């Protein structure tokens, strides 16, 4: 009888450990998603200064002001989205790329804008924020992969099906970047 109780206690301990590890990995995914959102929100504090700079130089393209507005609304939509909305994140990334392209074109077309120290500072901050977003996305995708693997391997999958019931999470994929790469692995 004692042997059976010891075996049951060991099995229960393993189930508890596995359940806790699944929950920990899921919480890491949630935290890393919040980090992505924080990085995107940081762009919002830069955009008003970019607006002011462009308004000072009214001769410059109106399209950039529209792109700033689109980016701001895409970031707000991302903040209001359901948990792990990678499609909205893709919209924000696309809006950021359009804005950066428009700013660079304007920068080349209007040399007097180059001399603006504020413009250089804003461009530097935008570049830094893009790097922060990229790093946050890499961490998010890494945590998603660890979570998904953790709920698929045996015996974790049994514990997950019976107790934890966490689902697979989709990582962020940049379809525009994927199109530019000729090689596609057969996975």
| Reduced 3-state DSSP string for 77-123 | HHHHCCCCCHHHHHHHHHHHHHHHHHHHHHHHHCHHHHCCHHHHHHH
- Tell whether pTM > 0.75: no
Q: Read off the pLDDT of each residue in 138-157 and give the average, rounded to a whole number.
A: 93
Fold assignment, 14-170: de novo design (two linked rop proteins) (1.20.1440)
- pLDDT for res 33: 87
Q: What is the dihedral of CA 91, 96, 101, 105, to 10 degrees?
A: 130
- pLDDT for res 62: 62
Secondary structure (3-state) at 169: coil
Q: Read off the pLDDT of each residue in 25-41 and give the average, rounded to a whole number.
A: 88
- pLDDT for res 76: 74
- pLDDT for res 71: 74
Given a cut of 80, whether residue 118 has pLDDT beyond it is no
Burial 138-166, CB ≥16 within 10 A → b, else e: ebbbebbebbbebbeeeebeebbeeebeb
Q: pLDDT per residue over 154-172, tens digit each?
A: 999 999 999 989 999 888 8
Q: Which residue has the higher pLDDT, 55 or 146?
A: 146
- pLDDT for res 149: 94
Cα 39 vs. chain centroid, distance in angstroms? 8
Q: Read off the pLDDT of each residue in 20-47 and give the average, rounded to a whole number.
A: 86
């Amino acid at each position: 009888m004692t042997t059976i109780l010891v075996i049951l206690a060991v099995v229960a301990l393993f189930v508890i450990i596995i359940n806790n590890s699944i929950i920990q990995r899921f919480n890491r995914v949630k935290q890393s998603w919040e980090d992505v959102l924080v990085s995107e929100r940081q762009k919002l504090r830069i955009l008003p200064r970019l607006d002011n700079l462009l308004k000072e130089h009214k001769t410059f393209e109106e399209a950039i002001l529209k792109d700033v507005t689109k980016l701001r609304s895409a970031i707000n939509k991302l903040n209001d989205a359901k948990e792990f909305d990678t499609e909205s994140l893709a919209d924000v990334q696309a809006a950021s790329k359009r804005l950066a392209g428009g700013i660079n074109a304007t920068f080349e077309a209007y040399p007097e804008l180059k001399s603006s120290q504020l413009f250089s500072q804003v461009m530097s901050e935008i570049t830094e924020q893009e790097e922060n977003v990229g790093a946050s996305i890499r961490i998010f995708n890494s945590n998603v992969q660890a979570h998904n693997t953790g709920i698929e391997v045996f015996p974790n999958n049994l514990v997950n099906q019976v107790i934890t019931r966490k689902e697979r999470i989709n990582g962020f994929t940049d379809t525009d970047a994927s199109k530019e790469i000729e090689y596609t692995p057969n996975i």
